[in-house]
Structure 1
């Protein structure tokens, strides 16, 4: 069996360092660093010198024109793009036109139900950072009541709680009491 020459690895590391060794802004040494946006080269004189550049160029391979759609601000065609926080729809005339909109489906309409916890606010449909819809009191942070399923303005027949939620179960959709101490479940609902 042949041995691997360890000089190959050290030569490669030194070759990378020499390629990126001088900061064009201040002449300092560039260092390989990592951030939430990915690896980059930054000046060793930071914070007095803030020069940095990404090691890898942004991947714009997920850009797709949306024919038949017009930007409401300038009239140019809209594009589906991949950004730092996920997919979004933006104007193809960027950077001249800064119009963007979410590619996520719209949050469902909020029901007209008074919050059962504080009796002051209304339950409003919200989206979590993962795109899941939940219903929370609009008097937040004074009231932090929230339910994960769609609320229905009916009192619970067993415990008297002021609302029920529609839950999908193996038997079908049912109205269920959101109180953990109550085990009420209605018969399967007709769709």
Structure 2
């Protein structure tokens, strides 16, 4: 079996592209291949650097929502993208309207009275990862990048003196751990 790609797979693209001129210089567009996938490139490269990807990573459509786009009146669709689910216009790339799927739901106030132990200026707040899992991070982000995965508790580590503990559930019961990753001392929840 040959390891080369069958050129007949690309012949439909090549025949469809023979009549498209380069929008920058008017030269012919040629099908090129790179490690990120096939693309159209100008025949006058490197003088003309026009490229057009043939494979778009715009997110695939999960389901149409039946609601009109506020910008162009086309239908909004739920898409799965690189950073999770989002609502976008079905008329993309002409219309670039996007919104969060949780934009209409009221946000709960998950601020904490706990001061960030790293920067001592921000407070720890509950946030969600792109997969929907809760974590707790400093509200001074991006200046402070402190974050923990378990619910934070006020307290001090008995070993290293770090000013924050996290609550973790084990089969033997709930324990308090030092939030300092270098220490991670386990204390009883007493």
How far residue 186 of structure 1 moved from its aligned partner, in angstroms, is 2.0
Count, aligned residues:
178
Q: SS in structure 2 opposite 1:27? A: coil
Q: Which runs of 5+ in 1 are unaligned?
A: none
* 1:116-151 alpha-carbon deviations (Å, 9 max, x no partner): 233322223345566554333334565443323221
1:89 aligned residue = 87
Q: CA RMSD in A?
A: 4.7
Question: What TM-score does the superposition give when structure 2 sets the normalisation length?
Answer: 0.60
Asked if structure 1 preserves the Cα contact closer than 8 Å seen for 2:125 and 2:136, the reply is yes
1:3-82 equivalent positions in 2, closer than 5 A: 12=8, 19=15, 20=17, 23-25=20-22, 26-28=26-28, 30-34=30-34, 36=36, 38-46=37-45, 48=48, 50=50, 52=52, 54=54, 62-66=61-65, 79-82=77-80
| More strand as a share of residues | 2
Moved more, 88-97 or 110-119: 88-97
Quick check: which has more Rg, 1 or 2?
1
The separation in 2 between residues aligned to 1:18 and 1:96, in whole angstroms, is 28
* 1:24-79 alpha-carbon deviations (Å, 9 max, x no partner): 2323351323375x42222232452525251689885x341347xx6795899753
Q: Which runs of 5+ in 2 are unaligned?
A: none
